[in-house]
A and B are shown apart, each in its own frame.
Chain A
Amino acid sequence: SSELTQDPAVSVALGQTVRITCQGDSLRSYYASWYQHKPGQAPILVIYGKNNRPSGIPDRFSGSSSGNTASLTITGAQAEDEADYYCNSRDSSSNHGVVFGGGTKLTVL
């Protein structure tokens, strides 16, 4: 099965821009989806498709992709954005299951 690779941790100064990346072969066929996950809460979908935000997600969240790499960008990071962020997609290998990245812990300084 395929894998999705994320940096374990990223930090950003309050109000600055941060990019979180996700790499994997599946991303040559599937857009990545991105989830924000805070302790004790359910994950929340923040970006899906080419660059789509579900209702209620602030427009400082955006997504992009190129080749086998997808990126989640937070423009003007806020304190409440501190969380774990996961990418996922369907697995493009024969089993067509689902894969998650290992997660990126975002710290807002």
Chain B
Amino acid sequence: QVQLQESGPGLVKPSGTLSLTCAVSGGSISSGHWWSWVRQPPGKGLEWIGEIHHTETTKYNPSLKSRVTISVDKSKNQFSLRLSSVTAADTAVYYCARVDTGVIILYYYYAMDVWGHGTTVTVSS
């Protein structure tokens, strides 16, 4: 079954760039799914960051769009997140997730069906 594993530095300096990678195992990143990044700041709820399709089409959270880049490396079966100009407000647990989408009767569905374990990123000098 598909498994996801986040990796990257756990500490980033303010104004720096946060870079994380999500390795996909047990399946292909070119399987037709979207691949997403989600974060949870301490004491707060889940926040969608953005997502990418293997065709390299991307969608981003409007509140983060100016600072976010998500890319895919099909040769390594992984996708990555870059968040620039970070501040303490970007301190969070970052998760990657696989997205399953479809249509049932006249309604669409969108479900993050496989998640990585999450990685904690702290922004501090």
Q: Which residues of A contact B (CB under 8 A)?
A: 1, 29-31, 33, 35, 37, 41-45, 48-50, 54, 84, 86, 88-90, 95-103
Q: Is the interface of A mostly helix, strand, loop or mixed?
A: strand
B89 at the binding interface (Cβ < 8 Å): no
Number of B residues near A (Cβ < 8 Å) is 30
User: Which of chain B's residues 85-112 have a Cβ closer than 8 Å to chain A?
Assistant: 95, 97, 100-102, 104-105, 107-112
Q: Is the interface of B mostly helix, strand, loop or mixed?
A: strand
Query: Which residues in B have their C-beta under 8 angstroms from that of A48?
Result: 100, 109, 111, 113
Cβ contact within 8 Å between A44 and B46:
no
Cβ contact within 8 Å between A33 and B116:
no
Contact of B45 among A50, A86, A97 (CB under 8 A): A86
Contact of B110 among A50, A54, A90, A102 (CB under 8 A): A90
Cβ contact within 8 Å between B48 and A100:
yes
Name the distance in Å between A88's Cβ and chain B's nearest Cβ: 7
Cβ contact within 8 Å between B107 and A95:
no
Name the distance in Å between B108's Cβ and chain A's nearest Cβ: 5
Cβ contact within 8 Å between A50 and B105:
yes
- Interchain residue pairs A-B with the least CB separation, the first 8: A48-B111, A42-B115, A33-B111, A98-B48, A103-B45, A90-B110, A31-B109, A49-B109
